[in-house]
Structure 1
Amino acid sequence: MPASYLIGYVALILPAFRISEMTGRLATFLFGLIVFVIFTGVAGNAATAYKFSVLRALQGAGAGFLASTILLVVSTNTSDRSRSLFVAGLCAAQLFGVGAAHTIGGKLAIDGHFRWGVYLVAPLMVAPVILCLPALLADKKPVRTESIFTRVVRFDYIGAIILIGTVITLTTGLVFGGNEHKWSSATVICLIVFGVVGIVLFLAWERLGASRPLFNTQWLHERNLQISVISTLFMSMVFFAHSVFIPILYITVRSELTDSAGRRTAPYWATSMGAALLAGLAVRYRPALARPLVWVGLAISIVFSGLYYTIEVKPTSLAKEQAFYALAGLGLGLAYPAVTYLSQVSVPLEEVGAASVVGHFLSIVGGMLGLILYQACLKSRLIINLDAIFKSNSFLASFDVRTMDIAGLEMSGPTILTYVPDLSDTIGQKMVDSLHTTYILTVPFLAVSLLATLFYKHRHTSSTI
């Protein structure tokens, strides 16, 4: 179900950017707002899982229009220096949204008000309306050299269709893999192959066929932008996955409620948000600090994320875990907005808006890939560690480890440990061992980000970045 929202969101971010050039940013923003609010209300009242998934995809489409317009407003109405503060604020808001899932959503679900987890986001739209509407109303209308008919005709419909189809097939294939179907099944293989082919077709069309491409492939020749894209992709794999796979430890092995598990990881999100704002402030006054902040932040996050491997089933003190989370979050918070900022100052001023939209698009794509890769790793380790134990016990045999997804693990983990007390210690240790393998993925992902950013090119400009 979360995947359906992301499909709508990711598939429409880039088309929404080009649509805003045809209709104007204000019209695009208002359209996205109306679609988002309407389908938020309808999805929250859906009677079946199928309807809920479809409506959530439409809700995500509205969010894609909103996000695209907001990013354009921020990037094109600020100077290189002042933009760092706004970029940091957006990064902090993104980190808060990712980290709040288990804490806020978990509390609502426990209290039997899970639908309010859907409804709640509608009134939150008041904030972007208040912040962005004045800038949208004051936005200078571009001088049109073409009629609206010409702009509509020349819109990149083929690119949009390829992109939407690619997002749907690739996401569906990766979500189905290991859950509804085996990774080796024809269904999963075909969906993933179609998705990969779709990526190649999309890039080829945007480079060779589109007169007004959704994605300007010429940006890929700018080294600093290439590096920022790679780094953003891998960093977002990590912080999206942390929002799910860290709380699982507390829910399954330590039998805590969902909201309580979310609060255990609050130090990670608190320090990451605070560090993001601090990084934005530092770059505002010393733009040359952007690259060092990336390097220092990623190095800190690599070290303390790697120490997650030492987390035990029954810790002698929670303070150590909380310190690891806080310091890993601190490092990521320093690096993420600095990388985002560097990507935007790497392109000409007239392309800054497009670069910001593409950067955000890739951060969400990275988050989706991270969630899927972490889940695949965890599931494979659970099968190796628990399948034989479950099959040897009459009660546990009713749980099929091979088809158990993350939601199933969260729901059944505490029950399993409660009803088989003689095996609870063994199963708990096996679960933690499986999670350790998952957590250690963070280290190579962040290491790739760090290694890539070491090749940032120094820009001799007025801001001395």
Structure 2
Amino acid sequence: MTGQEQLKNDIEADSDYKQHGVKKVEAVTTVWSSKMLWIVFALLYLVSFVDVLLQSVQGNLVSYITSEFSQHGLLAITSIVSSILGGAITPTIAKITDIRGRTEGFLYMLLLIVVGMIMKATCQNVETYAAAQTFYWVGHLGLLYIITIILSDMTSLRNRMIMISVNGTPLIASTFAGPKIAELFYLNLNFRWAFGAFTIILLAFCLPVALILLLSEAKAKKQGLIPLRMKTRSLAASFKYYFVEFDVVGLLLLTAGWSLLLLPFSLVSSALHGWQSATVICMIVFGIVSLGLFVVWEKFFAAVSLFPYKFLKDRTVLGASFAYGIMFLSIFVWDTYYYSYLQVAHFQDIASAGYILNTFSLTSAIISPLISVFIRYTGQFKWPTIIVGIPFVLLGTGLLIHFRTPSTSVGFLVMCQFFNGLGTSFIATCGQLAVMAAVTHQEVAIALAFFNLCGSIGAAIGMAIAGGLWTNLLRNSIYDNLPAASKELTDAIYADMRLQLSYERGDPIRDAIIEAYGDVQRKMVIAGAAFVPLLLGAVLIWRDINVKEKRQTVGNVW
């Protein structure tokens, strides 16, 4: 039997358990030469580079965008829904990639990013920006997720995290380039030009990847490696099939439930009667009801569940996903308004605040490939997380309680960012591999979707807590600290970071703002630190799988 025939047999083995998109990608990796494999690696790296750079630029501009509409306090709200939806929709994206193909999913996510970017470039109010952020964030998370899936298709388990973590190293460049590019756009043009320019740049780098994937699929079809699909369903039947297959009802219930449950934490301060407001109470009640209905729907009525039930019984998948969610929950409680704090309380400009903030991701991007090399040669991922990762997260977050004060040198803040970046790189890298090692190739996409959903929900809960603390405490703290003659400025100061920055060092009003920021930020850090011990329990339940000994992918993979 020739090597080609053997690969064809591998693709067709257990075909009843592999969906069409999985069969297609296994056929594609079969027809690729080693040279083409590395070309695709390089092109995906460039796509990730542009996408991460865009994320850094827009992250450094977002405070000014919400302030432009005098809604700086809504910074968390604009992120909560997009984060929840971005995570909740990953099961749908996983099913698109498994049923239709990786190429189709890649193009759909690119379309969402482009739509979101165009809306951002043309928005005239915070509501349009919030909708644009939702489109963009879903597309951004989806694009990175699909790139991870494609890299998983192209690698063995022992080498997988090397390639995935190397693909994350554009964070190193974006840490320095992103804030400076954002500053240049803000000072010389405006945020709208930033979004317009990056839309064109991203398209230029994404389309060659899609073209190669499409041409490779055509080549595999000619060689008979991709089974033909017979079109026997009508349009109505197809709609019904995909409605059921994507579990649209479950997706809507899950997204609505978490959104309605978490948004009141950020909205309550603007409600007429606070927590006694009928709107706030209704949102919380309907959120709980929606989540309850989601559980009932998935257990008794869903023909195709959003997630296979066995994932909820697999301690490795469950533990890794919970660890990822808890990690983001803890981080976003104190990180959501950190950028504003650095500029207002520590007098940092746009670029410098971005550099300090991005020390976290910079450290993670540098450390993750080293962790991945260690995994390749040892096959171990559980105990390094327990011995090294969690202690550094505890150290970095705990020290922030002491150092998150306006009088602290920014050097200590950078040190804490380094410790947190080092620790979380173990949790993210090893947790992602733990999920993939616990399932088959057919289940990798949906297992990673569950992993990402837990991360997004954790981030959303963290942002909800941050938004709740910010909107409920900062305005009152500003009012209490302002001089008696300036108390009528409270609402205007709270709503606009640009106005906060307009007061010079030593001005009693600026001192009052700084005092208020320091008080609220310290409470945020304490709240975030309270979740860190939960990480240990989540990691301890992982199975100790040796990835050197497990084969998962077929075809010409690395």
Q: Aligned in 2, Cα 1:178/1:426: closer, same or farther, shift over 3 Å?
A: closer
2:202 maps to a residue whose letter is: L
Given that 1:26 and 1:136 are in contact with CA atoms closer than 8 Å, whether structure 2 keeps it comes out as yes
1:410 equivalent among 497, 504, 516: 497
1:16 matched to 2:103 = no
1:433 maps to a residue whose letter is: D
CA deviation map 1:113-156 (0-9, x unaligned): 21134335422355555557645654664675885555642332
Q: Aligned in 2, Cα 1:395/1:113: closer, same or farther, shift over 3 Å?
A: same
Q: CA separation in 1, counterparts of 2:117 and 2:509?
A: 44
Q: Aligned in 2, Cα 1:191/1:460: closer, same or farther, shift over 3 Å?
A: same
2:524 equivalent among 438, 442, 447: 438
Given that 1:7 and 1:57 are in contact with CA atoms closer than 8 Å, whether structure 2 keeps it comes out as no
1:31 equivalent among 108, 117, 139: 108
Q: Bigger CA drift: 234-243 or 206-215?
A: 234-243
1:158 maps to a residue whose letter is: V
Q: Which residue of 1 aligns with 2:269?
A: 178
1:313 maps to a residue whose letter is: P
Q: Bigger CA drift: 302-311 or 423-432?
A: 423-432
1:331 maps to a residue whose letter is: G
| Cα shift at 1:98 | 9.7
2:320 maps to a residue whose letter is: S
Given that 1:313 and 1:428 are in contact with CA atoms closer than 8 Å, whether structure 2 keeps it comes out as yes
Q: Which residue of 1 aligns with 2:514?
A: 428
Q: Output aligned runs, 1:164-313, within 5 Å.
A: 164-166=255-257, 168-170=259-261, 172-179=263-270, 182-241=274-333, 243-311=335-403, 312-313=405-406
Q: Which residue of 2 aligns with 1:382?
A: 474
Given that 2:91 and 2:307 are in contact with CA atoms closer than 8 Å, whether structure 1 keeps it comes out as yes
Q: CA separation in 1, counterparts of 2:376 and 2:141?
A: 28
1:314 matched to 2:407 = yes
CA deviation map 1:379-429 (0-9, x unaligned): 444356444334x6121332139x94xxx36334334675x8346556534
1:336 matched to 2:417 = no
2:541 equivalent among 437, 448, 455: 455
Q: CA separation in 2, counterparts of 1:294 and 1:124?
A: 38
Q: Bigger CA drift: 213-222 or 280-289?
A: 280-289
| Cα shift at 1:354 | 0.8
Q: Aligned in 2, Cα 1:456/1:95: closer, same or farther, shift over 3 Å?
A: farther
Q: Aligned in 2, Cα 1:125/1:218: closer, same or farther, shift over 3 Å?
A: farther
Q: CA separation in 2, counterparts of 1:222 and 1:289?
A: 17
Q: Aligned in 2, Cα 1:383/1:101: closer, same or farther, shift over 3 Å?
A: farther
Q: Aligned in 2, Cα 1:297/1:318: closer, same or farther, shift over 3 Å?
A: same
Q: Aligned in 2, Cα 1:100/1:199: closer, same or farther, shift over 3 Å?
A: farther
Given that 1:344 and 1:352 are in contact with CA atoms closer than 8 Å, whether structure 2 keeps it comes out as yes
TM-score (structure 2 length as normaliser): 0.71
Q: CA separation in 2, counterparts of 1:97 and 1:243?
A: 18
Given that 1:7 and 1:60 are in contact with CA atoms closer than 8 Å, whether structure 2 keeps it comes out as no
1:314 maps to a residue whose letter is: S
Q: CA separation in 2, counterparts of 1:109 and 1:47?
A: 17
Given that 1:103 and 1:263 are in contact with CA atoms closer than 8 Å, whether structure 2 keeps it comes out as no
Q: Whose Rg is larger?
A: 2
The DSSP-based 3-state class of the residue aligned with 2:191 is coil
Q: CA separation in 2, counterparts of 1:52 and 1:430?
A: 28
**Unaligned regions of 5+ residues in structure 1, if any?**
none
Q: Bigger CA drift: 350-359 or 33-42?
A: 33-42
Q: Which residue of 2 aligns with 1:162?
A: 253
Given that 1:39 and 1:55 are in contact with CA atoms closer than 8 Å, whether structure 2 keeps it comes out as yes
Q: CA separation in 2, counterparts of 1:196 and 1:257?
A: 42
Q: Which has the higher contact order (CA 8 A, sep 6+)?
A: 2
The DSSP-based 3-state class of the residue aligned with 1:399 is helix
The DSSP-based 3-state class of the residue aligned with 2:269 is coil
Given that 2:115 and 2:132 are in contact with CA atoms closer than 8 Å, whether structure 1 keeps it comes out as no
Given that 1:14 and 1:358 are in contact with CA atoms closer than 8 Å, whether structure 2 keeps it comes out as yes
Q: Which residue of 1 aligns with 2:490?
A: 399
| Cα shift at 1:342 | 0.9
Q: Bigger CA drift: 70-79 or 90-99?
A: 90-99
Q: Aligned in 2, Cα 1:227/1:5: closer, same or farther, shift over 3 Å?
A: closer
| Cα shift at 1:326 | 1.7
Q: Aligned in 2, Cα 1:451/1:159: closer, same or farther, shift over 3 Å?
A: closer
Q: Output aligned runs, 1:92-131, within 5 Å.
A: 104-105=181-182, 108-122=185-199, 123-124=201-202, 126-127=204-205, 130=208
Q: Kindly report the root-mean-square deviation, in angstroms, between the aligned alpha carbons of the 2 structures.
A: 3.6
Q: Bigger CA drift: 107-116 or 97-106?
A: 97-106
CA deviation map 1:200-232 (0-9, x unaligned): 322332232222222223201001111111111
1:327 equivalent among 419, 440, 443: 419
**Unaligned regions of 5+ residues in structure 2, if any?**
1-77, 218-224, 551-558
Q: CA separation in 1, counterparts of 2:157 and 2:418?
A: 30
Given that 1:203 and 1:217 are in contact with CA atoms closer than 8 Å, whether structure 2 keeps it comes out as no
The DSSP-based 3-state class of the residue aligned with 1:400 is helix
The DSSP-based 3-state class of the residue aligned with 2:89 is helix
Q: Aligned in 2, Cα 1:400/1:40: closer, same or farther, shift over 3 Å?
A: closer
| Cα shift at 1:343 | 1.7
Q: Bigger CA drift: 177-186 or 429-438?
A: 177-186
Given that 2:121 and 2:196 are in contact with CA atoms closer than 8 Å, whether structure 1 keeps it comes out as yes
1:410 maps to a residue whose letter is: M
Q: Aligned in 2, Cα 1:280/1:111: closer, same or farther, shift over 3 Å?
A: farther
The DSSP-based 3-state class of the residue aligned with 1:394 is helix
Given that 1:159 and 1:202 are in contact with CA atoms closer than 8 Å, whether structure 2 keeps it comes out as yes
1:153 maps to a residue whose letter is: K
Given that 2:342 and 2:353 are in contact with CA atoms closer than 8 Å, whether structure 1 keeps it comes out as yes
Q: Which residue of 2 aligns with 1:360?
A: 452
Given that 1:174 and 1:192 are in contact with CA atoms closer than 8 Å, whether structure 2 keeps it comes out as no
Report % sequence identity: 19
Given that 1:219 and 1:225 are in contact with CA atoms closer than 8 Å, whether structure 2 keeps it comes out as yes
Q: Output aligned runs, 1:127-146, within 5 Å.
A: 127=205, 130=208, 134=212, 138=216, 141=226
Q: Aligned in 2, Cα 1:215/1:96: closer, same or farther, shift over 3 Å?
A: farther
| Cα shift at 1:298 | 1.8
| Cα shift at 1:252 | 1.6
